[in-house]
Amino acid sequence: MVEVLSENQELKENGKIVRHISGTTYLFIPFDYEGKKYSQISEEISNGFSIRMRALWCHEDEEIMLILEYLDEEGNPKYQWINDENAPGIELFCVKNAAIATFEMLTAEVVEEEEEDAETEYSDYDSRFSLEEFAAQFGNYELPEDLVKLYEFEQEYGVETYSECFGLTINDDKTGIKTWSEEEEFYNSFIEFAGANGSGSSYAYWLIDKDLNNCPIVVFGDEGGIHIVAENTRKLIQLLTLDTEISVDFDYAYFYKDEEYYEESENKEEFQEWAKAQFGFNAIESNEEADEIVEQAKRKYKQKFNDFLVKFDIEISKEDDDE
């Protein structure tokens, strides 16, 4: 794998080969350390997991080093496992498969956007449903005007083209929500309406009012955690202007844009200009601004939401227990 990647033209031009796909970074990079030459193949998974798996080849010794790391919020190793290719256990399996997956991603043919058919589906979401079809999942609830405006924008520009990994969806069977509780009172208290990130999390209205404009928005994490995110549709749209997907784990849901790896969405500027014209707010530009919007919603609704979850024997986060 190192031999093949070392001949790649992108490496010769940029000094590395990198792909950022749905919250995961695939990287090949050569470097020198303590007088020896190394090549690294790595996969880093964000989306609330913050895991980095690296395979290093030492050109002089012809030895392989495998590293599995859990990262803190700043991307620094919090816990670390290091061994060679003869190590037993799940760690070896994870890092080995990460290296192979990275190699496949970095050697895959890149399809130029202009070569794609105009009818191509966007990511995992199908943007070709009508407003009537989208509204059907809301039952007797009237669609908020802000959500209708967002639907019209998305229909014009495309799913996932204006804010990373975000797209409106039809989720009328509540399959995902039922994995949390099969009690009818619970799953009928939510309406999912959008994909939240590249790993399968989703946004939903928590139905505490007959008017959805007065209903907060929660995120259901694909690997755990249900969290209040925004006070209403407009606040969610404001969060989307940061152009980074939400990270969700059991204890937290947060927006974090890593400027080192950030790639601007195709229609980010059009979306930000649209949001300014429609709602009068400027696009948010920092993680701290996003945190404040989320915190405002939590201050208003979190205690009530926690009481609701406990009612159905759903464990709340340690953050909430501490408070």
pLDDT of residue 120: 40
Residue 17 lies in a domain: yes
Residue 114 lies in a domain: no
pLDDT of residue 127: 46
Residue 249 lies in a domain: yes
Report helix, strand and coil shares of the chain as percent, to nearest 5.
35, 25, 40
Task: Find all residues with CB under 8 Å of 204, minimum gap 6, and list them.
Answer: 177, 190, 191, 192, 193, 217, 218, 219, 220
Last residue of a domain, one of 79, 107, 135: 107
Whether residues 87 and 154 share a domain: the answer is no
Whether residues 86 and 28 share a domain: the answer is yes
Residue pLDDT tens, the chain, 323 long: 999 999 998 888 888 998 887 678 899 999 998 889 999 999 998 755 689 999 999 999 999 999 999 987 777 888 899 998 888 888 888 899 899 999 999 998 754 444 444 344 444 444 468 999 999 999 999 999 999 999 999 999 999 999 999 999 998 888 889 989 999 999 999 999 999 998 889 999 999 999 999 999 999 998 789 999 999 999 999 999 999 999 998 899 999 998 888 899 999 999 999 999 999 999 999 999 999 999 999 999 999 999 999 999 999 876 655 55
The runs of H, that is alpha helices, within the chain are 2-6, 9-14, 90-107, 131-136, 145-157, 175-178, 184-187, 233-240, 268-279, 287-311, 318-322
Apex 260 CA angle, 23 and 33, nearest 5: 105
pTM, two decimals, is: 0.64
pLDDT of residue 229: 98
Do residues 300 and 216 touch, judged by C-beta distance below 8 A?
Answer: yes
Whether residues 93 and 177 share a domain: the answer is no
Residue 91 lies in a domain: yes
pLDDT of residue 47: 55
Give the whole-angstrom CA distance, residue 96 versus residue 24. Answer: 16
pLDDT of residue 199: 84
Residue 113 lies in a domain: no
Residue 268 lies in a domain: yes
Last residue of a domain, one of 86, 107, 128: 107
| Number of domains the chain contains | 2
Whether residues 149 and 292 share a domain: the answer is yes
Give the whole-angstrom CA distance, residue 184 versus residue 312. Answer: 11
Residue 112 lies in a domain: no
Do residues 225 and 253 touch, judged by C-beta distance below 8 A?
Answer: yes
Whether residues 163 and 311 share a domain: the answer is yes
Whether residues 130 and 241 share a domain: the answer is yes
Whether residues 165 and 219 share a domain: the answer is yes
298, 304, 308, 314: CA torsion to nearest 10? 40
Give the whole-angstrom CA distance, residue 249 versus residue 223. Answer: 7
Whether residues 100 and 130 share a domain: the answer is no
Whether residues 314 and 169 share a domain: the answer is yes
pLDDT of residue 124: 43
Whether residues 140 and 261 share a domain: the answer is yes
Last residue of a domain, one of 107, 130, 147: 107
Residue 281 lies in a domain: yes
pLDDT of residue 320: 52
The first and second tokens of residue 220, run together, are 């259901």
Residue 283 backbone zone (phi > 0: left; psi -120 to 50: alpha; other: beta):
beta
Whether residues 41 and 65 share a domain: the answer is yes
Domain carrying residue 268: 119-322
pLDDT of residue 1: 93
Whether residues 206 and 307 share a domain: the answer is yes
φ/ψ (deg, to 5) at 247: -100, 135
Task: Find all residues with CB under 8 Å of 183, minimum gap 6, and list them.
Answer: 312
